[in-house]
Amino acid sequence: MTILVWIDHHRGTVQPASWEAVGKARALAGDDKVVAVVMGQGVDDVAQQAIHYGADATYLYDDAVYAEFRYEPYTAAMKDAVSENDPALVLFPATTRGRDFSAFFACSADLGLAPDAQDVRFEDGKVVAKRPVYSGNMIATVEVKTTPAVVSLRPRTQPMPEADASRAGEVVRKGALMSEDEIPTKVEKFEEKEQGEVSLTDARIIVSGGRGVKGPEGFEPIRELAKVLGAAVGASRAAVDAGWISYDHQVGQTGKTVRPDVYIACGISGAIQHQAGMRESKIIVAINKDPEAPIFQIANYGIVDDLFKIVPALTEEAKKRLGK
Amino acid sequence: MKYIVCLKQTPDTAELPKITPEQALKGNEGVTKVMNPWDEYAVEEGIRLKERFGGETVAMSVGPDEVDEALKSAIAMGCDRAVRLWDEAFADSDYWSMALILAKGIEKDGGADIVLTGKMSVDGNAGAVAHGIACKLGVSLLTQVAKIVEVGDGKITVERLLDEGRETVTAPLPAVISVVKEINEPRYPTFIRIRKASRAQIPVFSAADLGIDPAQVGAAAARVTWTNLVKPEPKKREVVIIEGDTPEEKARKLLEYLIDVEKVL
Ligand SMILES: Cc1cc2nc3c(=O)[nH]c(=O)nc-3n(C[C@H](O)[C@H](O)[C@H](O)COP(=O)(O)OP(=O)(O)OC[C@H]3O[C@@H](n4cnc5c(N)ncnc54)[C@H](O)[C@@H]3O)c2cc1C
Ligand SMILES: Nc1ncnc2c1ncn2[C@@H]1O[C@H](COP(=O)(O)O)[C@@H](O)[C@H]1O
């Protein structure tokens, strides 16, 4: 029972959830084969890393047509990898690109899809996945009736495997299956996000600000604390809608779903739509002036006080304790 | 130019926690239903496209009678008309059957230059139907769209929001565009438009009207089945309120918990 795992990277920088998916595949496959699938240009390094993280082999589709993610060439390559390996399961990390690609690929190959699963297993030869639905208010167990099954795995739901540089495996090199002329979609430009920001979905620690931070400058103390902790910066919709911080920081129902080890909510009341995006955090800390704020009902630790006093104090104390 | 916005009616997000698994499985959640919040951005963008480039904007949804309410709110926002697709055979369709129904509905309506969808539904959380529609129609797919830069010459140029930054992409029309919240600020309906919407006649097309073999859709054709549905285990969280005389003392105590007890920092 071979398992294929698609590795999500952008210009060679791999989204860590890809390795979590390789780890999961390794655990499920036992003595059977785990084959990583990498598409890109000049990404031999990614192909090798996949083996270090647990794949037995990597199918590497390396060509200029794969330099940027596009549905047409990527789908053609994935179909090729599937037809050569005859897998029982095709796993994707449920990153933004992973979710998009798995859906388009699954539909074009007419395969059953379980998106954004928090777990997957084989049961009597069938692929069964557990996935949150109703915005995290229910957990569905779904059985995929096609072979292969397509499943995307939510980031940070699986343990991160250790890379072992001594692991060896075959890299099967493949080139372009379509010429550039046959690909109607053209990427014109790419503007990178501000450097040095930790991505919300992979973050182990998140410091978030809400309406309580009162303005764009109110995010400064939040950012300083995040920097000292090596954390990502999150926000409530109220703060995003007010224009204090950009939408890609929004956590919740209509923002990102995160599950860090620690989520520090500063000046966030904890509306149900905010909770939908962060309830699964391991430890929740609430800093809020209002002891009645609903956030305290889901928090592990709470400080009832002014965030403008507490957050800078935390930054200073953290510098001392963490030796920074 | 013609734009079709695919929208779903979903439970009001504030009511999601009240829904029981039994209600959800029956497909009758017993709570207030509204237009899927993500789809408001698609409707708004459909109206803006008409304002920018001219043409007609049509709202389309798959669902029973009650879904007319969501379609009427799309008309109240500014869509020219609405179409509903429904047949008992459509119940419990999986994503690809749902996409097939919508693709057939779009063809039945004479096709579209641009099909708009939301990012995902707040009940099913699949984020897959848009991809399915593009696949079934065999047209371009652009997802995570945060800006429509230009439409013309049979092409569309958009900005897509990636985890790593912003990408500008051009693709030929027709295209399916799935939008993110950043793209716009949905408008409120005016009184006059609400009146217009309340009088709107919404045609309904069945499987036979759309030329869909009932065996291609519904539960029996589903490539994925839900075998169980439960409420998540309530996380037993007993909040520890940290007391202290000064902010420094509170900060120090909190860090002690996080570093020494929970070992998460
Ligand atoms: C369809 C829909 C989708 C939504 N999606 C999302 C989503 O994705 N994400 C999201 O977050 N929300 C979402 N919302 C909005 C949500 O309902 C709330 O309105 C929002 O989360 C409130 O943000 P907030 O907690 O920052 O603001 P508020 O609710 O106004 O809370 C501010 C808090 O700050 C505290 N405060 C004020 N000053 C201080 C201070 N100096 N020190 C400490 N505490 C202070 C106050 O006591 C208060 O509790 C959605 C709503 C709808 C209807
Ligand atoms: N029943 C439906 N009728 C019309 N559009 C739908 C329907 N279901 C999903 N969609 C569209 O597809 C998008 C993604 O939904 P989903 O894949 O269910 O998360 C939604 O935001 C809608 O735009």
Q: Is the peptide bond before A148 cis (omega within 30 degrees of 0)?
A: yes
For residue B120, the ligand closest to its alpha carbon is 2
Q: How far is CA A86 from CA A25, A50, A139, A145, A148, in A?
A: 15, 19, 30, 16, 8
Please tell me the least confidently modeled range out of B148-152, B155-159, B163-167, B173-177.
B163-167
- The reported pLDDT for the residue numbered B35 is 98
Length of chain A as a residue count: 324
* A88 to chain B, closest Cα gap in Å: 14
**Single pTM value for the model:** 0.93
The pair of structure tokens assigned to B198 is: 């309340």
Binned at pLDDT 50, 70 and 90, residue A198 comes out as confident
Tell me whether strands B140-152 and B155-161 are parallel, antiparallel or unpaired. Answer: antiparallel
* B67 to chain A, closest Cα gap in Å: 18
Complex ipTM, two decimals? 0.93
- Asked whether the beta carbons of residue B242 and residue A138 sit closer than 8 angstroms, the reply is no
Residue closest via CA to ligand 2's atom 8 equals B8
Q: Do domains A2-182 and A205-322 have the same CATH topology?
A: yes
- The reported pLDDT for the residue numbered A201 is 87
pLDDT above 90: residue B30? no
Residue whose C-alpha is closest to residue B25's, from B226, B234, B232: B226
Check if B120 has its Cβ closer than 6 Å to any atom of ligand 2: yes
Tens of pLDDT, residue by residue over A70-117, are: 999 999 999 999 999 999 999 999 999 999 999 999 999 999 999 999
- The reported pLDDT for the residue numbered B58 is 98
- B31 to chain A, any CB pair closer than 8 A? The answer is no
Please tell me the least confidently modeled range out of A52-56, A247-251, B38-42.
A247-251
**Which chain A residues are within 8 Å of B262, Cβ to Cβ?**
262, 283, 300
For residue A286, the ligand closest to its alpha carbon is 1
Closest-CA residue of B relative to A309 is: B247
Best B136, B141, B162 residue to mutate vs chain A (most A CBs within 10 Å): B162
Beta partners for residue A248, in sequence order: none
pLDDT above 90: residue A185? yes
Q: Render the burial of B11-48: b for 16+ CB within 10 Å, e for the rest.
A: bebebbbebebeebeeeebebebbbbbbbbbbbbbbbb
Residue closest via CA to ligand 1's atom 11 equals A236
Contacts for A323 with CB less than 8 Å, ≥ 6 apart: none
Segment B161-177 mean pLDDT: 96
Query: What is the number of CB-based contacts under 8 A between chain A and chain B?
Result: 252
pLDDT above 80: residue B231? yes
**What beta strand segments (E) does chain A contain?**
3-6, 9-10, 13-14, 34-40, 57-62, 89-93, 113-117, 119-123, 126-133, 138-144, 149-153, 170-174, 186-192, 205-209, 232-235, 262-266, 283-288, 301-304
Check if B122 has its Cβ closer than 6 Å to any atom of ligand 2: no
- B228 to chain A, any CB pair closer than 8 A? The answer is yes
Domains along chain B?
Answer: 2-221 (3.40.50.620), 235-265 (no CATH)
**Which chain A residues are within 8 Å of B258, Cβ to Cβ?**
262, 283, 285, 301
Segment A194-216 mean pLDDT: 90
Residue closest via CA to ligand 2's atom 12 equals B129
Q: Give the C-alpha separation, A105 to A69, whole Å.
A: 13
Binned at pLDDT 50, 70 and 90, residue A199 comes out as confident
Binned at pLDDT 50, 70 and 90, residue A207 comes out as very high
- B221 to chain A, any CB pair closer than 8 A? The answer is no
Query: Distance of alpha carbon A274 from its chain centroid, rounded?
Result: 18
Beta partners for residue B101, in sequence order: none
**Which chain B residues are within 8 Å of A205, Cβ to Cβ?**
264-265
Q: A198 exposed, middle or buried (CB, 10 Å; 0-12, 13-18, 19+)? A: middle
Q: Which atom of ligand 2 has the smallest separation from the CA of B124? A: 18
Binned at pLDDT 50, 70 and 90, residue A196 comes out as low
Segment B200-208 mean pLDDT: 98
Amino acid (one-letter) located at A305:
D
**Which chain A residues are within 8 Å of B38, Cβ to Cβ?**
254
Residue whose C-alpha is closest to residue B210's, from B128, B95, B87: B87
Check if B7 has its Cβ closer than 6 Å to any atom of ligand 2: yes
Binned at pLDDT 50, 70 and 90, residue B236 comes out as confident
E strand or H helix at B24: helix B21-26
Q: What angle do CA B233, B239, B242 make, to 5 degrees?
A: 160
- The reported pLDDT for the residue numbered B91 is 95
Q: Give the C-alpha separation, A48 to A170, whole Å.
A: 9
Binned at pLDDT 50, 70 and 90, residue B82 comes out as very high
- Alpha helix (H) ranges present in B109-159? 129-137
For residue A113, the ligand closest to its alpha carbon is 2
Binned at pLDDT 50, 70 and 90, residue A197 comes out as confident
pLDDT above 90: residue A251? yes
| Distance from the alpha carbon of residue B104 to the mean position of ligand 2, in angstroms | 15
- Indicate the average pLDDT of chain B: 96
- The reported pLDDT for the residue numbered A324 is 62
Binned at pLDDT 50, 70 and 90, residue A180 comes out as very high
Q: Residue B19: which of A134, A205, A310 has the nearest Cβ?
A: A134
Q: Could you name the CATH architecture of A205-322?
A: 3-Layer(aba) Sandwich (3.40)
Q: Which atom of ligand 2 has the smallest separation from the CA of B131? A: 17
Binned at pLDDT 50, 70 and 90, residue A194 comes out as confident
- Asked whether the beta carbons of residue A303 and residue B241 sit closer than 8 angstroms, the reply is yes
- Asked whether the beta carbons of residue B16 and residue A296 sit closer than 8 angstroms, the reply is no
pLDDT above 90: residue B9? yes
- The reported pLDDT for the residue numbered B234 is 77
- Determine what percent of chain B is predicted with pLDDT higher than 70: 100
- Asked whether the beta carbons of residue B224 and residue A144 sit closer than 8 angstroms, the reply is yes
pLDDT above 70: residue A289? yes
- Asked whether the beta carbons of residue B255 and residue A317 sit closer than 8 angstroms, the reply is yes
- The reported pLDDT for the residue numbered A106 is 98
Segment A33-51 mean pLDDT: 98
Segment B163-187 mean pLDDT: 96
Map tokens 């920092």 to a residue.
B265
Does the domain made of A2-182 have the CATH classification 3.40.50.720? no
Query: Distance of alpha carbon B156 from its chain centroid, rounded?
Result: 21
Mutate to test the pocket of ligand 1, among A250, A285, A287, A289 (most ligand atoms within 8 A of CB): A289
